[in-house]
């Protein structure tokens, strides 16, 4: 898609600023001229012009060109044009400088044809002044980007990099990544190519490693290979400063971990499920050196527990579970104490030493929205039960849905009790209105008509945010409500709507943890159900969360340095944001013949 005229002028104005910043003070002071230090202190065009009046060639032209540069930088195109027109350089270096300034001036005036002609003339011969190479490649980058040739623009930006001052390298690095992102978006086939420039290949290779999100261990191996293949490559500076340390630490399990859980009191069942999951993680690796030390938040205050943990010499804490306890711990914890909280952490308490892992309602909602977007669903209907957790799920779903470029609106309907649910579903799906229209037609014609009610056709998915019992009822009501003239509408539900297999779930799509849905973990699931037959699915989810929380510790820092990369766990594919928030991508399955058939990994 070509730029509109308005966008082209906006692009030109934006790039004029970038290119002009590339110009330094280009001077060749002779012995009887002002010193280089004096020249470097000149900041106004008029000063350059006054100096030019007293100078001879080639300095006279050089000073006038510097004045032109400053006029261009400040957007005073009329003065830049008149100054440049009145400058007649006699030596090749200043002539090349003149042509590059003319190219910039024409770009600013919207004359891209003239700009390219001046640029081509400037580079017919190698540039005599090496400082001009920064400007040359900045202009070349702008020209390629103007023509939406992001592949060529990225290569020109890489060529510019060696000529850029240290303080401006970070901006050029960001420009290179942005241009490669545009290549991936607009010219994806180009990413498979290799150039003849090893420097560019290094940038491209690293970009592909960091942007093809996948398993952490795979990317760490690729990064090690990249560092060996491209030693001292400037792109190394774009990697997180402590990534090498994180890579080295990955896989090194801690000698001991302090765990704060409610092992007595109101929340002891949740605490026991988490504890048993952590113990299982230790048992799964008999060679692990990790020893777990449990502290009961059901019997003791967080302050007392933290004092005891310090006396016991621990440096890693997993927990607490309850949100108020998390806040209290982080208020008193030493900055050197590494904490993996088992609940959400408030923004004002986030730090490099603090991570958080929570199977929260917000996680369920955002996970569903992401899946819907990936599946191309455009018009979802959300049926939400009463309750704060269901409201949090819906709110998170809506927020994630709105992150799209042009999101369609969501149809949100609060559902009623079971007694009125079927009638409400008929109203929601348009069956009630369809019957009313048929009755009106029959009355108007004075005939007895045979008719089949038609359900609404403006939705392509139904997301049920309710209890397991409500979800089963809603699914059956939807099934009998859909008109035979309409395509079946898929029904989706998350973990809080799933608590065991049921024939009423037939055909419904379920997002839940792999320990409950993945056949590869069937043996582990059976073992858990055998050891704790009284456990509900909610208990098994906490068990899996405890298992993953302990397994994550050696990989937390590397995952945090590489947001978007994942490790596979019993709760899903786990990633860690720059803020330390553990994200979980839940797999989706479909109930068929009382079995869950995976539809996503």
The answer, yes or no, to whether residue 525 has pLDDT greater than 70, is yes
Q: Give pLDDT tens digits for 306-345.
A: 999 999 999 999 999 999 999 999 999 998 899 999 999 9
Position 584 confidence tier, pLDDT thresholds 50, 70, 90: very high
Q: Give pLDDT tens digits for 428-464.
A: 654 444 444 334 433 443 444 344 444 445 678 889 8
Tokens 């858990």 identify what position? Answer: 528
Position 400 confidence tier, pLDDT thresholds 50, 70, 90: very high
Q: Give pLDDT tens digits for 197-206.
A: 888 999 998 9
Q: Give pLDDT tens digits for 382-391.
A: 888 888 999 9
3-state secondary structure of 16: helix
Quickly list H helices, 109-165. Answer: 112-122, 132-146, 150-160
The percent of residues above 90 in pLDDT, for the chain, comes to 45
Of residues 478 and 507, more confidence is placed in: 507
Average pLDDT, the chain: 83
Q: Are strands 380-384 and 461-465 parallel, antiparallel or unpaired?
A: parallel
Mean of pLDDT values over 72-83: 91
- Looking at residue 77, its pLDDT comes to 92
**Other residues' Cβ atoms within 10 Å of the Cβ of residue 213:** 13
- Looking at residue 31, its pLDDT comes to 42
Q: CA-CA distance, 223 to 449, in Å (whole number)? A: 71
Q: Residue 557: CB partners within 8 Å, gap ≥ 6?
A: 242, 245, 246, 249, 250
- Looking at residue 152, its pLDDT comes to 92
The answer, yes or no, to whether residue 5 has pLDDT greater than 60, is no
Q: CA-CA distance, 165 to 503, in Å (whole number)? A: 68
Position 18 confidence tier, pLDDT thresholds 50, 70, 90: low
58 prior amide bond cis, ω within 30: yes
- Looking at residue 249, its pLDDT comes to 63
Q: Of 46, 49, 82, nearest to 63 (Cα)?
A: 49
CB-hemisphere CA count at 13 Å for 457? Answer: 8
C-alpha pair distances (Å), 486 with each of 131, 423, 425, 456, 491 = 68, 20, 16, 8, 15
CB 72 within 8 A of CB 80: yes
Q: What letters, b where the CB count within 10 A reaches 16 and e where it falls short, cover 58-82? A: bbbbbbbbbbbbbbbbeeeeebbbe
305 prior amide bond cis, ω within 30: no
- Looking at residue 131, its pLDDT comes to 80
Position 30 confidence tier, pLDDT thresholds 50, 70, 90: very low
* Phi and psi based region of residue 173 (left: phi greater than 0; alpha: psi -120 to 50; beta: remaining): alpha
Quickly list H helices, 54-130. Answer: 59-73, 77-85, 92-108, 112-122
Q: Give pLDDT tens digits for 230-264.
A: 888 888 887 876 677 667 666 678 889 999 999 99
What distance lies between CA 79 and its chain's CA centroid? 45
Of residues 476 and 418, more confidence is placed in: 476
Q: CA-CA distance, 463 to 490, in Å (whole number)? A: 9
- Here the tokens at position 450 are 């045979």
Quickly list H helices, 490-536. Answer: 514-517, 522-531
The answer, yes or no, to whether residue 15 has pLDDT greater than 90, is no
C-alpha pair distances (Å), 365 with each of 200, 379, 393, 396, 489 = 41, 16, 5, 5, 20
The answer, yes or no, to whether residue 412 has pLDDT greater than 90, is no
pTM of the predicted model, to two decimals?
Answer: 0.74
- Looking at residue 326, its pLDDT comes to 96
The answer, yes or no, to whether residue 597 has pLDDT greater than 90, is no
- Looking at residue 7, its pLDDT comes to 55
491-493 sheet: strands from edge to edge: 411-414, 380-384, 461-465, 491-493, 509-511, 588-592, 595-598
- Here the tokens at position 117 are 């002609």
Q: Of 26, 20, 15, nearest to 127 (Cα)?
A: 26
Q: Are strands 316-318 and 354-356 parallel, antiparallel or unpaired?
A: unpaired
Mean of pLDDT values over 217-228: 86
- Looking at residue 427, its pLDDT comes to 63
Mean of pLDDT values over 20-33: 49
The percent of residues above 70 in pLDDT, for the chain, comes to 82
3-state secondary structure of 257: strand
CB 361 within 8 A of CB 389: yes
94 burial level (CB within 10 Å; 0-12, 13-18, 19+) = buried
Length of the chain: 601
- Here the tokens at position 574 are 């786990």
- Looking at residue 384, its pLDDT comes to 87
28 burial level (CB within 10 Å; 0-12, 13-18, 19+) = middle
- Looking at residue 369, its pLDDT comes to 93
Of residues 299 and 413, more confidence is placed in: 299
Domains of the chain listed by start with CATH number: 5-148 (1.25.40.10), 256-358 (3.40.50.2300), 361-445+453-512 (3.40.50.2300)
Tokens 């399955």 identify what position? Answer: 589
- Here the tokens at position 582 are 């553990």
Mean of pLDDT values over 545-561: 91
Q: Which of 13-22, 181-190, 555-564, 582-591 has the lowest mean pLDDT?
A: 13-22
Q: CA-CA distance, 373 to 353, in Å (whole number)? A: 34
Q: Residue 110: CB partners within 8 Å, gap ≥ 6?
A: 8, 9, 12
- Looking at residue 500, its pLDDT comes to 76
The answer, yes or no, to whether residue 519 has pLDDT greater than 70, is yes
């Amino acid at each position: 898609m070509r730029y509109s005229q308005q966008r082209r002028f906006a692009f030109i104005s934006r790039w004029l600023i970038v290119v002009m910043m590339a110009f330094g003070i280009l001077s060749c002071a002779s012995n009887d001229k002002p010193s280089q230090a004096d020249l470097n202190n000149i900041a106004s065009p008029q000063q350059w012009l006054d100096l030019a009046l007293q100078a001879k060639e080639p300095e006279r032209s050089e000073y006038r060109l510097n004045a032109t540069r400053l006029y261009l930088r400040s957007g005073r195109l009329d003065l830049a044009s008149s100054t440049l027109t009145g400058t007649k350089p006699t030596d090749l270096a200043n002539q090349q400088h003149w042509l590059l300034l003319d190219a910039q001036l024409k770009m600013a005036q919207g004359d891209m044809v003239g700009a390219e002609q001046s640029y081509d003339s400037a580079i017919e011969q190698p540039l005599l002044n090496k400082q001009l190479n920064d400007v040359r490649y900045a202009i070349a980058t702008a020209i390629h980007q103007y023509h939406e040739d992001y592949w060529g623009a990225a290569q020109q930006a890489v060529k510019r990099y060696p000529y850029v001052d240290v303080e401006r390298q970070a901006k050029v690095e960001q420009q290179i990544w942005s241009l490669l992102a545009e290549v991936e978006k607009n010219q994806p086939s180009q990413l498979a190519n290799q150039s003849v420039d090893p420097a560019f290949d290094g940038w491209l290779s690293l970009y592909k490693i960091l942007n093809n999100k996948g398993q952490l261990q795979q990317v760490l191996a690729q990064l090690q290979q990249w560092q060996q293949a491209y030693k001292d490559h400037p792109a190394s500076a774009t990697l997180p400063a402590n990534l090498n340390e994180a890579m080295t630490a990955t896989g090194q399990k801690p000698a001991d971990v302090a765990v704060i859980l409610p092992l007595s009191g109101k929340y002891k069942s949740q605490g026991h499920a988490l504890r048993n999951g952590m113990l299982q993680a230790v048992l799964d690796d008999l060679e692990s050196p990790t020893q777990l030390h449990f502290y009961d938040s059901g019997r003791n205050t967080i302050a007392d527990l933290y004092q005891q943990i310090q006396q016991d010499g621990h440096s890693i804490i997993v927990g607490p579970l309850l949100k108020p306890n998390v806040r209290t711990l982080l208020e008193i914890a030493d900055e050197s104490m590494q904490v993996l909280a088992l609940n959400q952490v408030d923004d004002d308490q986030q730090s490099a030493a603090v991570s958080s892992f929570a199977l929260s309602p917000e996680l369920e909602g955002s996970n569903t929205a992401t899946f819907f977007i990936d599946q191309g669903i455009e018009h979802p209907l959300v049926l939400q039960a009463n309750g704060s957790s269901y409201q949090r799920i819906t709110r998170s779903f809506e927020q994630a849905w709105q992150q799209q470029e042009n999101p369609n609106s969501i149809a949100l309907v609060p559902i009623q009790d079971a007694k009125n649910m079927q009638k409400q579903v008929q109203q929601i799906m348009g069956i009630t209105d369809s019957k009313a229209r048929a009755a009106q037609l029959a009355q108007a014609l004075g005939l007895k008509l045979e008719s089949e009610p038609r359900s609404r056709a403006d939705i392509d998915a139904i997301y049920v945010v309710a209890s397991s019992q409500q979800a089963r009822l809603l699914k059956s009501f939807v099934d009998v409500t859909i008109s035979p003239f309409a395509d079946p509408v898929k029904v989706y539900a998350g973990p809080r709507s799933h608590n065991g297999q049921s024939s009423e779930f037939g055909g419904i799509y379920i997002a839940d943890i792999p320990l409950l849905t993945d056949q590869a973990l069937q043996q582990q699931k059976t073992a858990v159900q055998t050891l704790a037959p009284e456990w509900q699915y909610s208990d098994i989810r906490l068990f899996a969360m405890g298992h993953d929380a302990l397994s994550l510790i050696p990989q937390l820092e590397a995952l945090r340095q590489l947001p978007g990369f994942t490790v596979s766990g019993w709760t899903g594919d786990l990633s860690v944001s720059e803020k330390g928030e553990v994200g979980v991508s839940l797999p989706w399955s479909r109930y068929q013949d009382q079995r869950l058939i995976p539809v996503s990994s």
